[in-house]
Amino acid sequence: MGIIFSIISGKGGVGKTTTAANLAIGTAMQGKKTVVVDFDIGQRNLDMILGLENRVVYDITHVMDGDVRLRQALIPFKKNENLYFLAASQTKDKTVLNKEKVEKVLSELKKEFEYIFIDAPAGIESGFEHAVYFADAVIVVVNPEVSSIRDSDRAIGIVDAKSKKSQEGKRVAKYLIINRINPDLVQKGEMLSSEDILDILEIDLLGKVPEDQIIIEASNTGHPVILNEKSEAGRAFKRISRRLCGEEVPFVDIESVKHSGLLKSIKKMFQ
């Protein structure tokens, strides 16, 4: 039986969909049979990030309504045979979701896949609650800014109060990814540090991802950064994926400013 990870944030625009895409590819690269599901009904984006927008014919609402079988709606990711994608509907809205239908689809996916990533919608309305209700674990994506932290804190509270596991008195594992860390701003004290964020949210740190301009290009071209060896964010997502697969991977300091080669040479002259 697979594990369902819901990727949540509270606030929109923090990089949740990018994280879902990269972690799904990352675990697939580790040899795990993985599926990533876009739960943002009416606002699907994950297909574009994965470069699969031209392949979407059927989506999750077709499966839930029994119009097609799950296998017909699953789209294979060409760059890795372990990864499949289930799209959200772009034409319907979140009211089409209901607990029984969602449970049926997810229990089918759990039988087929080892890792199931759900890209939850932003906010805390009904779509969000459906996306976290059946989660075995949640991955909370935050940016190092106060509004993102407070909204995530609220989202964690809702997971604790409303997920199926919590209601059964079990613990839902919660992991934190701090995304878009800018070392210059952290050093100047203009951006919250990881310690500040962990102090507020008190959940386990899964990884830190630096700000990386390559992500914009990657999203626009449908070539996720984890596939780009030159991308620092891509390397961070790889480390996180390995941790998710049970490997002990040391945390890399991405909050200290790295000096350029010239500056390093000048510093050495004075040592």
Q: How far is CA 244 from the centre of its chain?
A: 12
> Could you give the CA distance from residue 32 to residue 223 in angstroms, rounded to a whole number?
20
Draw the binding track, 21-60, toward another protein (x: CB under 8 A; -: no contact): ----------------------------------------
With b for 16 or more beta-carbon neighbours within 10 A and e for fewer, the 85-94 pattern comes to bbbbbbeeeb
- Residue 3: how many other CB atoms lie within 10 Å: 16
Question: Which CB, 102 or 201, lies closer to another protein?
Answer: 201
Nearer to another protein (CB atom), residue 65 or residue 199:
199
Range 121-150, binding another protein (CB under 8 A): 124, 150
Answer for which of 139, 156, 233, 254 binds another protein (CB under 8 A) is 156
How many angstroms separate the CA atoms of 72 and 130, rounded?
Answer: 23
Residue ranges with strand state E in 27-133: 34-38, 75-76, 83-86, 115-119
Give the pair of three-digit tokens for residue 18: 């990018």
Give the distance, in angstroms, between the CA of residue 135 and the centroid of all CA atoms in the same chain. 13
Distance CA 185, CA 22 (A): 25
Member of 62, 110, 154, 243 binding another protein (CB under 8 A): 154
CB of 203 to another protein, least distance (A): 10
Shortest Å, Cβ 152 to another protein: 8
What sign results for the dihedral spanned by CA atoms 173, 240, 153, 134? negative
For residues 67 and 190, which CB has a smaller minimum distance to another protein in the complex?
190
Query: By CB under 8 A, what part of segment 193-252 binds another protein?
Result: 200, 202
Q: Smaller CB distance to another protein: residue 9 or 22?
A: 9
Can residue 160 be called a binding residue for another protein (CB under 8 A)?
yes
Stretches 115-123, 153-161, 212-220, 244-252: which one binds another protein (CB under 8 A)? 153-161
Cβ neighbours of residue 260 under 8 Å, at least 6 residues apart? none
Which region, judged by CB under 8 A, interacts with another protein, from 30-38, 45-53, 154-162, 239-247? 154-162
Q: What distance in Å separates the CA atoms of residue 150 and residue 161, rounded to the nearest whole number?
A: 17
Stretch that binds another protein, among 53-61, 135-143, 156-164, 213-221 (CB under 8 A): 156-164
Binding flag, residue 114, another protein (CB under 8 A): no
Contact between 119 and another protein by CB under 8 A: the answer reads: no
Shorter beta-carbon distance to another protein: residue 196 or 232: 196
How far is the CA of 225 from the CAs of 101, 106, 212, 230, 232, in angstroms?
33, 27, 9, 9, 9
Query: Considering the complex, what minimum distance in angstroms separates the CB of residue 154 from another protein?
Result: 4
The residues of the shown chain that bind another protein, judged by CB under 8 A, are 124, 150-151, 153-154, 156-158, 160, 200, 202
